[in-house]
């Protein structure tokens, strides 16, 4: 049956909106004040699944929280890069658009979470971050696919699995990579409303529906 001719599962005018009939979200902080935001559930599960690659000399943006959490004693050195000179956690101050910010062939692992969408030229970021990996090194990338508008002055993009794949194939020589998308209709609505992951059932979080992704993730291994 053609989707546009399908009968509605709930009669028109009889939808019970309940607590969702509102103009403002339940949380103005993406759900942090209610627990773990839904996007962080997917991001952190992705990093946990690839935690074996987080070790040796690592670099992360803004802080080393995920490096330490998921790399644990496998990490021998953790660098933090940030464009903000006032960030006390950053030992490398510079712009990821500048190839001089990071030495080439230096890192065993690069954790790049939720960064590509707040830098206008994602192609250059991908090239520079990939170049910073040692041969055999791994980059773990996550990016927003569906998210509320951010007050961040450089909230530029939302990525899909297709656009993240193109960023990889068009700007690196990587042949060993995987791209995946996570989310579904319920978790997308929950994330927009600021409902935390702990307020949803496990099966509701883990169900994947390609039509409603929240986060896209990629693992790249350099030649």
Least confident window among 6-10, 84-88, 100-104:
6-10
Q: Which of 5-9, 47-51, 130-134, 202-206 has the least mean pLDDT?
A: 5-9
Distance CA 109, CA 54 (A): 6
Q: How far apart are CA 113 and CA 76, in angstroms?
A: 21
Rounded CA separation 139/110 (Å)? 5
Measured at the CA of 62, the angle between CA 59 and CA 67, to 5 degrees, comes to 40
Give pLDDT, residue 4.
66
CA distance 86 to 88: 6
Spans of all domains in the chain = 28-221
Q: Under a CB-based contact definition with an 8 Å cutoff, are residues 117 and 160 in contact?
A: no
Q: What does residue 74 show for φ and ψ, rounded to 5 degrees?
A: -75, -20
Angle at 62 (CA atoms; ends 113, 38), nearest 5 degrees: 40
Determine which helix (DSSP H) or strand (DSSP E) holds 139, and give its type and residue range.
strand 133-144
Cβ contact 149:164 at 8 Å: no
> Closest Cα to residue 128, out of 107, 142, 113, 149?
107
Contact 123, 96 (CB under 8 A): no
Least confident of 7-16, 126-135, 207-216: 7-16
Q: Which two tokens stand for residue 36?
A: 């773990």
Handedness of CA 148, 67, 63, 167 (dihedral sign): negative
Name the fold adopted by 28-221.
Rossmann fold (3.40.50)
| pTM confidence score | 0.94
3-state secondary structure of 58: strand
- Each residue's pLDDT tens digit, 29-88: 999 999 999 999 999 999 999 999 999 999 999 999 999 999 999 999 999 999 999 999
The model's confidence at residue 18, banded by pLDDT at 50, 70 and 90, is: very high
**Nearest Cα residue to 61 out of 37, 83, 43:** 83
Q: Is the pLDDT reported for residue 6 higher than 70?
A: no
pLDDT digits (tens, 9 = 90+) for 134-190: 999 999 999 999 999 987 788 999 999 999 999 999 999 999 999 999 999 999 999
Rounded distance between C-alpha atoms, residue 110 and residue 94, angstroms: 16
Asked if residue 173 lies in contact with residue 223, where contact means CB atoms within 8 angstroms, the answer is yes
- Integer Cα distance of 218 and 176 in angstroms: 11
């Amino acid at each position: 049956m053609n989707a546009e001719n399908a009968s509605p599962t709930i009669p028109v005018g009889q939808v019970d909106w309940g607590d969702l009939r509102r103009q403002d979200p339940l949380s103005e902080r993406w759900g942090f004040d209610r627990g773990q935001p839904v996007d962080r559930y997917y991001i952190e599960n992705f990093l946990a699944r690839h935690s074996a690659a987080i070790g040796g000399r690592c670099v992360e943006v803004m802080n080393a929280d995920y490096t330490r959490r998921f790399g644990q004693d496998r990490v021998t050195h953790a660098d933090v890069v940030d464009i903000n000179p006032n960030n006390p956690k950053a030992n490398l101050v510079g712009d990821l658009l500048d190839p001089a910010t990071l030495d080439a062939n230096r890192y065993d692992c690069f954790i790049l979470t939720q960064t590509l969408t707040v830098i206008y030229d994602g192609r250059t970021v991908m090239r520079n971050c990939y170049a910073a990996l040692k041969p055999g090194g791994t980059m773990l990338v996550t990016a927003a696919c569906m998210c509320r508008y951010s007050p961040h002055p450089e909230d530029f993009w939302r990525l899909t699995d297709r656009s993240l794949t193109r960023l990889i194939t068009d700007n690196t020589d990587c042949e060993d990579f995987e791209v995946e998308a996570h989310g579904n209709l319920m978790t997308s609505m929950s994330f927009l409303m600021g409902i935390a992951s702990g307020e949803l059932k496990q099966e509701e979080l883990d169900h994947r529906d390609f039509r409603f992704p929240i986060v896209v993730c990629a693992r790249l291994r350099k030649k």
